[in-house]
Amino acid sequence: MTETQLVQLPTRTQPGSELSAQENAALIGVENVTKVYNVGHADYPALREVNLKIERGEFVSIIGPSGSGKSTLLNIIGALDRPTSGRVKINGINLKRLSDDQLARIRNRKIGFIYQSFNLIPRLTVLENVEMPLMPRKMSQREREKRSRELLDTVGLGRKLRKHPTELSGGEQQRVAIARALVTKPEIIIGDEPTGNLDTKTTRQVMDYMAKVNRSGITVVIVTHNPEVAQYTPRIISVRDGEIEKDELVPKLGSF
């Protein structure tokens, strides 16, 4: 473990068309992104001129102190929020060109979200929670249920379909949330402190599962302030005061 070597990633910028998806574009491109919050009469810059590229298949963690801008950055990467200035591209498509409806469609089609507090709907069953993101789709109820059951089996909850979230442990609830995030077959999974409410053992289970999801080809980006969680990912981006302070590749022993 002590032989782990830190490599500084070169910062590259790649100009490109803003109108259509590009074959060779990064999966996610964040270009000169600034996000300013208006607090009372003052403008507070939560992100300052951030540049970053995430390629297909990467497993990335974003770390940094509380208030450094991690969630703001993740919400912008996940198309949940728009930058004040600068550009965000997914598959080379500039999100600024899209209407709110088109953006919502991209979110639903391409991105799965996992949150610290699980964000499950308490009055729905486990199965219904997982089916939720498939509701906007033209798909039979049978098909929705089939797909959701399969994923709940995969995360080891096949026997708890009819339970309600409050009847489950924190780790189980997060596994429901992971199944819900995967049910749409997204290209990207993003998680904001997905292990923030879990004990050490459950944190490891959830991270082992995230690593498995990544090995299946899905790009995974998580925000964490737990250094042990960041150790699961080969790339660690450190944010401080709204800026990227470090962007490191940490080769994993035995991975080549």
Q: 164 vs 246, which CB is nearer to ligand ADP? A: 246
- Residue from 84, 26, 32, 91 nearest 60 by CA: 26
Among 3, 39, 166, 255, binds ligand ADP (CB under 6 A): 39
Binding residues for ligand ADP, how many (CB under 6 A)?
A: 12
Exposure pattern of 124-159 as b/e (b: 16+ CB <10 Å)?
Answer: ebbbbbbbbbbeeeeeeeeebbebbbebbebbebee
Alpha-carbon span 241 to 45, nearest angstrom: 9
* Binding site partner of 238, from Mg ion, ligand ADP, none, Cβ cut-off 5-8 A by kind: none
Q: 61 vs 71, which CB is nearer to Mg ion? A: 71
Q: 74 vs 111, which CB is nearer to Mg ion? A: 74
- Cα angle value 65/245/111 (rounded, 5°): 75
Among 61, 68, 71, 219, binds Mg ion (CB under 5 A): 71
Among 26, 33, 68, 247, binds ligand ADP (CB under 6 A): 68
Task: Give residues in contact with Mg ion (CB under 5 A).
Answer: 71
Task: Give residues in contact with ligand ADP (CB under 6 A).
Answer: 37, 39, 44, 46, 64, 66-72
